Amino acid sequence: MSYKLGIDLGGTKILIALEKEGGGIISSGKFPTGATRGVDSVLDNLASRTSEVLSHAGVSRHELVGLGICVAGFYDIRTRTIVSSPNLPGWEQFPLEQELKKRFKVPVLVENDANAAAYGEYLYGAGRGKKNMVNITLGTGIGGGIITEGHIYRGGGGFAGEVGHINVLPGGPLCGCGRRGCLESVSSGLAIAREGRLLLESGGGDLLRKITGEKGQLTAGHVFEAARNGDAGAARIIREAARFLGLALSFVVNILNPEVITMSGGMAQAGEQLFVPVRHYLKEAAIPPSGDMVSVVPAVLGEEAGVRGVLSLLEQYLKKL
Amino acid sequence: MSYKLGIDLGGTKILIALEKEGGGIISSGKFPTGATRGVDSVLDNLASRTSEVLSHAGVSRHELVGLGICVAGFYDIRTRTIVSSPNLPGWEQFPLEQELKKRFKVPVLVENDANAAAYGEYLYGAGRGKKNMVNITLGTGIGGGIITEGHIYRGGGGFAGEVGHINVLPGGPLCGCGRRGCLESVSSGLAIAREGRLLLESGGGDLLRKITGEKGQLTAGHVFEAARNGDAGAARIIREAARFLGLALSFVVNILNPEVITMSGGMAQAGEQLFVPVRHYLKEAAIPPSGDMVSVVPAVLGEEAGVRGVLSLLEQYLKKL
């Protein structure tokens, strides 16, 4: 038998999936990235955890035919290096493909994580059959992956789909990227939690205060819960986040005219509480022919989307070798 | 010999070009659309002007092997009809391809005008060799055409590239599309002329007043000229228009990561006076890996871009028949 490894290297966690010939994940694992410990530590950890996943399935390293990995960061398709990664300090200019080839002695395919997740949703998830689609990841940050005519669209350097850093509010809140007013700085989980804290500091948000008091450190989830239960301040925060997200998605829709936008990640779990206002603001701002035809729906693959996507890309890559 | 017709059907003018076998435009014509006189009148006019172009070249109708036409409007690639066109009243749901086939009795290819112009610039103009590029038309309105991996990107319905209706200033000036704050409502030639008039009404813009007094009705060109010659109010108008254009282009750059953005149309004639601030604001707002690699340059084909693009598309189409 021959096996393939699919890996999702994120800023906070790493997912590993082992796929048998012909498809089907037979073993998988998930562990913290430990990004602050640096590149070598993460790679060593990745190697030993991969061995665990293999041995758990009774598969030998020699039965591996390839490794596909998606990574949270700007991966330059021209130089095949990670240009930079806000969530993986120290990986700048790192030749990930080359390094993994050396360590695993199999063909390696590298892809940006948002692209891989979009491809997964396109092939197996909520974007199935929709050749022009966009997947938005809503979590601590906001990412985007674009499928055009059934293929990942990467752009000239591999940096396409950076929806999270669309400048929706010039001069607005400071973003992790160092600029002000990116979508991520006003509509991400982090931004919603920040606004929730500001609400409490200003003496508002009684219900939010109660929920947070019961559950510990304030999260975006608490703000959603408080809004759902009638806290007007929390509801305003959610509405503002949805307004900017809908606005940014209207730009995506005007530019790309996708058939569907799928939304994944922790924040998408809020479901219709988030989707209804996002659709409203999107439709308000988009040009009608494109705004009318796009549907905005939850992604369905969850955190598996990236490894599913990258395993399919790996399969195509191996066939071409 | 066999000949092909390339037509650019715009809101104000129609261009006709006759191409001989193997390439090379041997005869062409340009005339007012007369859009207000309605569909039938425009089509009759188109037919008789086409006859003129043919007879001028000594070519018989029977030597025509195909007709390619690009049109200013939302052309639905699924139904092959014009959904709507802000500048061509009465053409809603019009089956242009079918009608022209009937009239000309040759294979007909229809394309959106912004797409055709982008394809022309990609093949023969300032985007040559850049497989991921965007062409922006800056005139009375603002249009966009997208080339991804060397092909026109149309999106799910054919409506992609609507850069002019990106909502850069929600609640801003009324746009021709009926909404408020579209890029077109703050950065087009029409918008700059409007702001120039407001400047004069408010008692400012002495130099602009002088220029307009000498040359007649205020145009965007007058505002550019006044700004170039030190009119502070006019300079502010140009800076604001450039700021919003740079901002909208940063969205395009974040989403598409193009290698080059070409800008055509009357307003692009302002050259570096416009390009310098646009590049500045674009770079300020775009995510660095994409913002650093894109160049923003003048398109070079002028008003021929559309017919050149559509003639190439027609050639590919005829080969596949």
Q: Which residues of chain A lie closer than 8 angstroms to B148, CB-CB?
A: 148, 153, 155
| Residue pair A96/A73 in contact by the 8 Å Cβ criterion | no
| Minimum CA–CA partner of B146 in chain A | A255
Give the count of beta carbons closer than 10 Å to the beta carbon of residue B79.
Answer: 12
Q: Which residues does residue B76 pair with via DSSP β-bridges, in sequence order?
A: B81
Per-residue pLDDT tens for A105-141? 999 999 999 999 999 999 999 999 999 999 999 988 8
Top-tier CATH class for B126-300: alpha beta
Indicate if B126-300 has the same CATH topology as B3-113+303-320: yes
| Residue pair B146/B160 in contact by the 8 Å Cβ criterion | yes
Overall average pLDDT of the A83-105 stretch: 92
- Kindly state the helix (H) or strand (E) to which residue A4 belongs, with its residue range: strand A3-9
In angstroms, the CA B33 to CA B29 distance is 12
A177 reaches B (C-beta below 8 A): yes
A178 reaches B (C-beta below 8 A): no
In angstroms, the CA A130 to CA B156 distance is 8
Residue by residue, DSSP assigns A195-245 as HHHHHHHTT--HHHHHHHHHHSS--HHHHHHHHHTT-HHHHHHHHHHHHHH
CB contact under 8 A, B159 and A289: yes
Whole-number pLDDT of residue A140: 83
Chain B: nearest CA to A254, how far in angstroms?
Answer: 5
Q: For chain B, how many residues are written?
A: 321
DSSP annotation of A117 reads: H
- Confidence band for B215, pLDDT divided at 50, 70 and 90: confident
Whole-number pLDDT of residue B27: 95
CB contact under 8 A, A132 and B293: no
B189 reaches A (C-beta below 8 A): no
In angstroms, the CA B112 to CA B70 distance is 5
The whole-chain average pLDDT of chain B stands at: 96
- Confidence band for B43, pLDDT divided at 50, 70 and 90: very high
In angstroms, the CA A55 to CA B230 distance is 75
DSSP annotation of B38 reads: -
| Minimum CA–CA partner of B85 in chain A | A289
Q: Which residues of chain B lie closer than 8 angstroms to A179, CB-CB?
A: 285
Whole-number pLDDT of residue A111: 97
Q: Which amino acid is at A54?
A: L
Whole-number pLDDT of residue B11: 87
| Minimum CA–CA partner of A159 in chain B | B257
| Residue pair B54/B106 in contact by the 8 Å Cβ criterion | no
Residue in B76, B285, B293 closest to A157 by CB:
B293
Overall average pLDDT of the B176-180 stretch: 91
Chain B neighbours among A 104-133 (CB < 8 Å)? 130-132
Do strands A25-32 and B151-152 pair parallel, antiparallel, or not at all (unpaired)? unpaired
Q: What is the pTM of this model?
A: 0.96
Q: Which residues contact A22 (CB under 8 A, 6 or more apart)?
A: none
Chain A: nearest CA to B25, how far in angstroms?
Answer: 32
Q: By percentage, how much of chain A surpasses pLDDT 90? A: 93
Residue B40: phi and psi, rounded to 5, are -60, -45
Tokens representing B13 are 């003018």
Mutation pick from B245, B257, B281 vs chain A, by most beta carbons of A within 10 Å, is: B257
Whole-number pLDDT of residue A24: 92
Whole-number pLDDT of residue B225: 97
Whole-number pLDDT of residue B85: 87
pLDDT at A19 over 90: yes
Whole-number pLDDT of residue A87: 81
Sketch the domain layout of chain B as residue ranges. Answer: 3-113+303-320, 126-300
A240 reaches B (C-beta below 8 A): no
Overall average pLDDT of the B283-308 stretch: 96
Residue in B132, B167, B252 closest to A250 by CB:
B167
**Range with the lowest mean pLDDT among A21-30, A129-138, A227-236, B311-320?**
A21-30
Superfamily of domain B3-113+303-320: ATPase, nucleotide binding domain (3.30.420.40)
pLDDT at B1 over 90: no
DSSP annotation of B175 reads: P
Q: Which residues does residue A182 pair with via DSSP β-bridges, in sequence order?
A: A167
Superfamily of domain A3-113: ATPase, nucleotide binding domain (3.30.420.40)
Give the three-class secondary structure for B6.
strand
Residue A310: closest CA among A81, A110, A29: A110
B155 reaches A (C-beta below 8 A): yes
Per-residue pLDDT tens for A138-193? 988 899 999 999 999 999 999 999 999 999 999 999 998 899 999 999 999 999 99
Chain A neighbours among B 73-102 (CB < 8 Å)? 74, 76, 83-84
Tokens representing B179 are 């909404």
Residue A73: closest CA among A107, A111, A47: A111
Q: Which residues contact B135 (CB under 8 A, 6 or more apart)?
A: B114, B117, B118, B121, B122, B127, B144, B145, B147, B261, B262, B263, B264, B299, B305
Mutation pick from B132, B162, B296 vs chain A, by most beta carbons of A within 10 Å, is: B162
- Kindly state the helix (H) or strand (E) to which residue A70 belongs, with its residue range: strand A64-71
Per-residue pLDDT tens for B48-83? 999 999 999 999 999 999 999 999 999 999 999 999
- Confidence band for A59, pLDDT divided at 50, 70 and 90: very high
| Residue pair A66/A21 in contact by the 8 Å Cβ criterion | no
Q: By percentage, how much of chain A surpasses pLDDT 70? A: 100
pLDDT at B87 over 90: no
In angstroms, the CA B316 to CA B321 distance is 9
Q: Which residues contact A143 (CB under 8 A, 6 or more apart)?
A: A72, A113, A114, A117, A136, A137, A161, A162, A163, A164
Overall average pLDDT of the B284-289 stretch: 96
Q: Which amino acid is at B295?
A: S
In angstroms, the CA B210 to CA B76 distance is 47
**Range with the lowest mean pLDDT among A32-36, A84-88, A113-117?**
A84-88
pLDDT at A214 over 90: no
- Confidence band for A198, pLDDT divided at 50, 70 and 90: very high
| Residue pair B135/B262 in contact by the 8 Å Cβ criterion | yes
Q: Which residues does residue B7 pair with via DSSP β-bridges, in sequence order?
A: B16, B69
Whole-number pLDDT of residue A216: 84
Q: Which amino acid is at A64?
A: L
